[in-house]
Amino acid sequence: MRPEPVSFRRRLAAGEPLLGTFIKTPTVHTTEIIGSLGFDFVVIDQEHAPFNRVATDLILLAARAAGTAALVRVPSHAPELLLAALDDGAQGIVVPHVASADDARAIVAAARYRGGRRGFSNSPRAGGYGRAGVWEHVDASDSATAVIAMIEDPEALDRVDEIAAVDGIDAFFIGRGDLTVALQADSVDAPPVRAAVERIASAARAHRKPLCAHAGRLDTAELRWLRRLGVSCFVIASDQGLLRHAALDVETRFRELTSGT
């Protein structure tokens, strides 16, 4: 039987191999299709794609209908952005540019009720539109909400052990793209980036934090390297990337099959 979306945080903590993709197109259809195929989760990309709250809300509903977990990569640490994603029913948040332990503690506080400062309401989707009582909603939300910190800045590397030690940060997401640009490296596989990734992975292992990473495609050597470092949660490409790859394959095969006819 397929795991329930609400079990995402537990499965992440257990180190299960999890497959997801970024959603960059503000339509319900890609999430519905990807979820129905058996992907474990999707990440709605508010940071780099044109999502407003209404579009995010609809895609969270599509994910629920498709039986897949949905995370939201918020555009910043602002508490109101985290609150909106969680109230609308996200199973977790992916927060970019977490560069200090203070950042991490503020994010955890915004995402949790007990011991935190998350604004209470059980009237949105997360509270069953009022079905859940106050403390039922508080406990269910705190138990199920995954808080994932993106480590993607050079200054974060110097503080990565302090960030990993923050209680309530459930996992690290290794931001190889931003690290590549910040380190002025030739590619995500360049030695400085690989060294940074290994440093992040070492801190995660020391503090028993699961690791997430993005890969543009299913490259055997890359995935095996990331798995050896401890990555268990993989975001492969995006809805747009998967569409482009499939369409390019069709176009190439069509030209080959019709050449000379």
Q: Check pLDDT > 90 for residue 260.
A: no
> What is the rounded CA–CA span in Å between residue 69 and residue 122?
20
pLDDT at 179: 98
pLDDT tens digit string along 80-137?
999 999 999 999 999 999 999 999 999 999 999 999 999 999 999 999 999 999 999 9
pLDDT tens digit string along 221-231?
999 999 999 99
Domain ranges of the chain: 5-258
> What is the rounded CA–CA span in Å between residue 179 and residue 193?
7
- Cβ atoms of 81 and 75 closer than 8 Å: yes
Neighbours of 89 (CB within 10 A): 20
Q: Check pLDDT > 70 for residue 259.
A: yes
pLDDT at 1: 83
Active centre residues (catalytic) = 48
Q: Check pLDDT > 80 for residue 256.
A: yes
Query: Rounded mean pLDDT of 150-162?
Result: 97
What contacts 52, CB < 8 A, 6 or more positions away? 26
pLDDT tens digit string along 161-211?
999 999 999 999 999 999 999 999 999 999 999 999 999 999 999 999 999
> What is the rounded CA–CA span in Å between residue 35 and residue 64?
9
- Cβ atoms of 66 and 35 closer than 8 Å: yes
Note every long-range contact of 231-237, with CB atoms under 8 Å and residues 24 or more positions apart, other chains counting: 231/174, 231/201, 232/12, 232/15, 232/16, 232/17, 232/18, 233/12, 233/18, 233/20, 233/171, 234/17, 234/18, 234/19, 234/20, 235/20, 235/21, 235/22, 235/43, 236/19, 236/20, 236/21, 237/21, 237/22
pLDDT at 261: 65
Q: Which residue has the tokens 């980036």?
A: 193
* Weakest-pLDDT range from 89-93, 148-152, 257-261: 257-261
pLDDT at 217: 84
> What is the rounded CA–CA span in Å between residue 102 and residue 98?
9
Beta strands in the chain (DSSP E): 18-23, 41-45, 69-73, 92-95, 146-151, 171-174, 211-215, 231-238
Q: Check pLDDT > 80 for residue 45.
A: yes
**What mean pLDDT, rounded, does the chain reach?**
97
CATH class of 5-258: alpha beta
pLDDT tens digit string along 21-32?
999 999 999 999
Euclidean distance between the first and the last CA atom of the chain, given in angstroms as a whole number: 49
Q: Supply the DSSP symbol for 122.
A: S
pLDDT tens digit string along 235-254?
999 999 999 999 999 999 99
User: pTM for the complete prediction?
Assistant: 0.96
Q: Are strands 18-23 and 41-45 parallel, antiparallel or unpaired?
A: parallel
